[in-house]
A and B are shown apart, each in its own frame.
Chain A
């Protein structure tokens, strides 16, 4: 079941193609953060987490769970769910279109398999994931709960309420992921409202922290393996992955310009020349 590093690289390339094509076709959406978190989520769904379409239910019984706190990252989320077998890859063509199960931000109202909770209004995912993790502890379920936040999103106060709560209740089965790409809509995180030392912040809130390169599969897998070991203790763990917004497409990389903007058809074509089609386009 676990995909090799080479297989993960191939999947990530296809997911990046999907992201750019989905957003281009929809003429809206969020490619930047989707591209920065692609490698992390590819590793999570295809190697690390026990999240499978077979027997998947919203309550997460018998599996790990994932919450996308940064709800605007639907392009990467939907592409990964589709390639993991939760719904047909062809359905990616309906992204952001009227009547679709692939709503602009995740919805639990359209019957899309694999989506555990709605998100989009930022800063709320850590709290939800903490509730899920608490339930697993109470139920004696050894599975874990993962939650992905952005570094810009971490300006939200509720993130830190959730951090405090998870540490206090010793939710060691909760593993946070920060897509630390340094960008948000209005500019760099540093220029918009500080940012600072995110690792020190999570540590101060009583979490284990791991910092890793979010575009190197060896580093990503190693970070998740460390987190897995730490989950035997009594603290939640935050993995801060250093990433580049827009990673994989040269003209989108390292800028906030593509946070929530669709490329033109020509720009999409240019991007396709940089991303290998490995699993077949939708």
Chain B
């Protein structure tokens, strides 16, 4: 089993900030727009370096989507950044008409996703964003697992011609992937090979899944861990090849049970390769106030819960 080392906890939103700056240096068409959350979504460095390409929109997210669409039509590559709820649910119709149906090269930079936003509570903790974005034709949905992968995913999103939903978070989480590995949109990364079950995870739950795999290895269970960094389009070949080998799969995500990675994989497998599945997610619930670690435990998304569910599945 491959051992992953946490090189020091970092927030994935800072990975976005670093990736955005790099993308802005590489391509002068890259713009950054925010709705009064420049610091929170880590656009400070980009704004300082490229003030003429940073656009403050004020607390008016709907207009921000439209303005970004206009910039994209004119040939720019705009990233719009805010909290996940405010760049998805709040502006779903704007994204649908101006970005998805309107075919504009807008990148949605979605910070503070999921319950691990923490203390702000349920109004800010969207658990439905992946479902909303997955439902839009042609929208690419990316949920990187750590700081390094978020840097690379941001750079890849800037290079990709088309709408991208890029999800990241507020808390500091382990940083363990290779900082130099370019991000491939549409690729699921096999982190560890195994034979008894596959654990598909996305976002910072990939680290939890790796910890869980280590724990159950001691009990003689060999888990394959796959980082599904791109939820749409799903890397069908990698998913099918893995479950063909293991025959069982556990899907872990910090998202509502409806419309997330679990349903995406279940849909594929129901049609192509019926497989025994188990799901760990936010069920059909809202979040609540708490520390990220407390909420991860309460909602059953941490390594201990993944290990328990994995053992139950292989029994």
Name A's B-contacting residues (CB within 8 A).
58-61, 107-109, 116-121, 123-136, 138-139, 157-158, 161-162, 164-165, 168-169
Contacts and interface: CB of A to CB of B under 8 A. Distances in A.
Interface in B69-98: 69-76, 78, 93-94, 96-98
B62 A161 contact: yes
Given A124-B97, A131-B71, A164-B63, 14 more contacts: A59-B74, A107-B101, A124-B94, A126-B63, A127-B70, A128-B69, A130-B66, A130-B70, A131-B72, A131-B74, A131-B78, A134-B70, A138-B76, A168-B58
A39 B71 CA distance: 29
Nearest to B57: A165
B209 interface: no
A129 B73 CA distance: 10
B103 interface: yes
Contacts of B66: 124-128, 130-131, 158, 162
Nearest to B55: A134
Nearest to A158: B62
Contact of A128 (B57, B70, B76, B93): B70
Contact of A161 (B60, B72, B101): B60
Contact of B97 (A116, A120, A168): A120
Nearest to A136: B74
B234 interface: no
A130 B98 CA distance: 13
A127 B67 contact: yes
Nearest to B101: A118
B97 to A, nearest CB: 5
A59 B75 contact: yes
Interface in B94-131: 94, 96-98, 101-104
Contacts of A158: 60, 62-63, 66, 94
B62 A135 contact: no
Contacts of A135: 70-71, 73-76
A60 B69 CA distance: 13
Contacts of A164: 58, 60, 63
A83 B63 CA distance: 33
A132 B101 CA distance: 18
Interface string B29-72: 00000000000000000000000110101101011111111111
Contacts of A125: 66
A108 B70 CA distance: 13
Contacts of B58: 161, 164-165, 168
Contacts of A130: 63, 66-67, 70
Contacts of B96: 121
Contact of A165 (B53, B67, B71, B104): B67
16 contacts: A59-B74, A59-B75, A118-B97, A121-B93, A121-B94, A124-B97, A127-B62, A131-B70, A131-B74, A138-B53, A138-B76, A139-B74, A158-B60, A161-B62, A162-B66, A168-B58
Nearest to A109: B103
Contacts of B101: 107, 109, 118
A164 B58 CA distance: 9
A133 B70 contact: yes
A169 B31 CA distance: 15
A165 B60 contact: yes
Contacts of B67: 127-128, 130-131, 134, 162, 165
A41 B60 CA distance: 30
Contacts of A117: 69-70, 73, 98, 102, 104
